[in-house]
């Protein structure tokens, strides 16, 4: 058995799951965001995949195996060939035909549905596969948590109407809850943005972890939970004067930032400033206004504008359009560009903003009076402690790993690609679709993030690479060897996954490795115990060890493992 455990790990491994997967010999890096899974990891992944298959079969899903190499054509039909950025790996074959590597498979399943489904009577269908996916992440990190190649269960539902989609969506939510629970990973369901996938509604399943890169907002009062990309909140209250003074321009030499203006004599604290951001959206510049201490949420920006091609405008673009450089920009009196203002600015008085003249600002700004041309929308990131929009209680913020994501796609793909069925009335209608993903490596990593200690991994029993390891104190001792091999054969015969550590190493080394790789149970056939017809049985999770008669080992393990 090839289990190359390590004492030291590369300095760039930060996430605990990344460190432990390297140290326990589960993975090796091949390139940026690309990892080889060694035999221990493969065993864990196959156990996870088995759980996934069982739960997908339970909701009536059928397994497919789709190509990973996609012709560009279906991606062009759906519009994603142009809409998705460099995250989609693209290549050309020997005939210079455009191709892509599977990122998800909406397009391919939709072509199969278009050709194979004719009537509402064939619906609903749930189709899935488990296999490699590719994303050329700009910043791969945290080992398998944000890799460029990973294993995903992706499924797709096909229904005749929205009510059918609701059922398929709920079935998936239930299957996902069972999958995560069976794999020993606690999941939090949050409202999420649909992003590049399109569609109307989506829910993410998150595992709380410091190694995560996704912030979620939760309300301990009413249970509201959302990805920060999507979360809304009540801003902290502002106390403005009842009346507005006349708007006034004043010189602010050297002021470039919100902080500069807060410190400037005659300036204003951040929460009394208007932050003016200029973006190029498709081909036009647009203005986005926020309270000075608030942060723009670019995902909300993309949803509001409906555009996937947006970027902050450059200094020269700003000067050309508004007559000033960033630092002195504002929206008062701007008639030629669209202006969006965050809801937290609505009705505010006595604010300060840029004057669209370098080195000048405006004060006494009254939003209702001076920015009446703005569209008021939710533009900003929610913050810890702000009020829940549903119940008013203070919101909490935490870091999580996305382990599953389910989408109501609706007609996004079926309309673009012409996937239709005949209704009972003989009318053609586009198929109503959903899509659903679970990351296999992410479950593995999230399980480690949630279950480890100073000595290594503590695998949930359901996905442990082995159920039990037999570690004779001295592998070269004939009696220990014989008893170990007998026990190995008996446990394997009974269907348990057993590892026999027959290396000629000190017990300390073997126990350390067993702890590191996290096998739930360890059996030690030592000389003293064997003399009494016993072995030591230790549990990895609790560290508890006790002597047990050789004849009782199988029964005890079966009971403990629930088999």
Residues that bind a copy of itself (CB under 8 A): 1-2, 4, 25, 28, 30-31, 34-39, 41-43, 45-46, 62-71, 73-74, 86, 89-91, 93-94, 99, 101, 108, 111-112, 115-116, 122, 125, 127, 129, 131-132, 134, 136, 138, 148-149, 151
For residues 131 and 139, what is the distance between their CA atoms, to the nearest angstrom? 22
* Closer to a copy of itself by Cβ: residue 125 or 352: 125
Alpha carbon distance 484, 502 (integer Å): 9
Instruction: Give min distance, CB of 455 to a copy of itself, in A.
Output: 22
The answer to whether 206 and 377 are in contact (CB under 8 A) is no
Q: How far apart are CA 347 and CA 349, in angstroms?
A: 7
Q: Characterize the bridge pairing of strands 432-439 and 396-410.
A: antiparallel
Choose between 77 and 271: whose C-beta lies nearer to a copy of itself.
77
The minimum distance between CB 533 and a copy of itself, in angstroms, equals 32
- 101 vs 216 by CB, closer to a copy of itself: 101
Q: Which candidate, 234, 218, 366, places its Cα nearest to that of 294?
A: 234
CA 129 – CA 154 distance, rounded (Å): 6
DSSP state, 465?
A: S
- Distance from chain centroid for Cα 426: 42
Tell me whether residue 127 or residue 180 sits nearer to a copy of itself (CB atom).
127
Residue nearer to a copy of itself on the CB measure, 129 or 227 = 129
The conformation of residue 52, written as its DSSP 8-state character, comes to H
Smallest gap from Cβ 12 to a copy of itself, in A, equals 17
Query: How near is the Cβ of 265 to a copy of itself at its closest, in Å?
Result: 47
Return the number of the residue (118 or 546) whose C-beta is nearest a copy of itself. 118
Least distance between a copy of itself and beta carbon 115 (Å): 7
Question: How far apart, in whole angstroms, are the C-alpha atoms of residue 327 and residue 277?
Answer: 10
Closest approach of a copy of itself to the CB of residue 94, in Å? 4
Q: Left, alpha or beta for 547 (phi > 0: left; psi -120 to 50: alpha)? A: beta
Minimum separation from the CB atom of position 497 to a copy of itself (A): 12
- Rounded CA Rg of the chain: 29
Distance in Å, CB of 213 to a copy of itself, minimum: 18
Q: How far is the CB of 171 from a copy of itself (least distance, A)?
A: 17
Per DSSP bridges, beta strands 34-37 and 521-524 are: unpaired
Q: Whose Cβ is closer to a copy of itself: residue 90's or residue 481's? A: 90
**C-alpha distances in angstroms, 361 versus 142, 223, 355, 372, 414?**
44, 43, 4, 19, 51
Q: Give the separation between CA 180 and CA 208, rounded to whole angstroms.
A: 13
Nearer CB in complex with a copy of itself: 115/544: 115
Q: Which is nearer to a copy of itself, 11 or 372 (CB)?
A: 11
For helices 440-450 and 16-23, angle between their N-to-C axes, nearest 10 degrees: 100
């Amino acid at each position: 058995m090839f289990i190359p455990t390590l004492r030291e790990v590369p300095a760039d491994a930060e996430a605990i799951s990344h460190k432990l997967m390297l140290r326990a010999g589960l993975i090796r890096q091949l390139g940026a965001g690309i990892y080889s899974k060694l035999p221990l990891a493969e065993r864990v992944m196959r156990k996870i995949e088995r759980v996934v298959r069982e739960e997908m079969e339970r909701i009536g899903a059928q397994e497919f195996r789709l190509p990973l190499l996609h012709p560009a054509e279906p991606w062009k039909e759906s519009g994603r060939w142009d809409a998705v950025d460099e995250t989609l790996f693209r290549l050309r074959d020997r005939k210079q035909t455009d191709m892509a590597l599977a990122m998800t498979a909406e397009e391919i399943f939709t072509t199969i549905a278009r050709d194979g489904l004719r009537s509402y009577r064939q619906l609903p269908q749930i189709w899935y596969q488990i296999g490699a996916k590719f994303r050329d992440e700009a910043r791969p990190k945290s080992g398998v948590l944000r890799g460029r190649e990973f294993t995903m269960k992706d499924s797709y539902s096909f229904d005749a109407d929205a009510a059918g989609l609701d059922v398929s969506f709920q079935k998936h939510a239930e299957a996902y809850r069972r999958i995560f629970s069976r794999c020993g990973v606690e999941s939090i369901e949050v409202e999420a943005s649909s992003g590049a996938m399109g569609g109307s509604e989506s829910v993410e399943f998150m595992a709380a972890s410091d190694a995560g890169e996704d912030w979620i907002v939760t309300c301990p009062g009413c249970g509201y939970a959302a990805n920060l990309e999507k979360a809304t909140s009540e801003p902290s209250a502002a106390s403005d004067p009842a009346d507005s003074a006349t708007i006034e321009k004043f010189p602010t030499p050297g002021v470039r930032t919100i902080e500069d203006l807060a410190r400037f004599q005659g300036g204003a604290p951040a929460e009394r400033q208007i932050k003016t951001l200029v973006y190029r959206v498709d081909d036009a510049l647009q203005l986005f206004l926020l309270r000075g201490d608030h942060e723009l949420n670019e995902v909300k920006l993309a949803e509001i504008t409906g555009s996937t091609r947006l970027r902050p405008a450059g200094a020269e673009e700003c000067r050309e359009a508004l007559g000033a450089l960033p630092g002195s920009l504002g929206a008062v009196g701007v008639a030629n560009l669209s202006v969006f203002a965050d809801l937290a600015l609505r009705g505010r008085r006595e604010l300060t903003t840029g004057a669209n003249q370098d080195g000048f600002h405006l004060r006494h700004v009254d939003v209702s009076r001076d920015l009446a041309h703005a569209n008021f929308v939710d533009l900003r990131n929610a913050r810890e402690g702000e009020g829940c929009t549903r119940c008013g209680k203070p919101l909490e913020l935490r870091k999580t790993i996305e382990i599953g994501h389910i989408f109501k796609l609706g007609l996004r793909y079926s309309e673009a690609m012409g996937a239709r069925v005949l209704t009972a009335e003989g009318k053609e209608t586009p198929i109503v679709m959903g899509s659903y993903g679970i990351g296999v490596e992410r479950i593995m990593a999230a399980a480690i993030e949630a279950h480890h200690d100073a000595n290594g991994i503590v695998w949930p029993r359901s996905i442990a690479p082995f159920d039990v390891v037999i570690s004779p104190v001295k592998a070269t001792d004939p009696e220990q060897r014989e008893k170990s091999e007998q026990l190995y054969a008996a446990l394997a015969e009974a269907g348990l996954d057993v590892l026999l550590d027959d290396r000629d190493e000190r017990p300390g080394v073997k126990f350390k490795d067993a702890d590191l790789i996290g096998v739930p149970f360890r059996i030690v056939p030592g000389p003293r115990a064997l003399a009494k017809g016993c072995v030591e049985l230790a549990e990895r999770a609790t560290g508890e060890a006790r002597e047990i008669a050789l004849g009782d080992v199988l029964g005890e393990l079966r009971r403990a493992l629930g088999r």
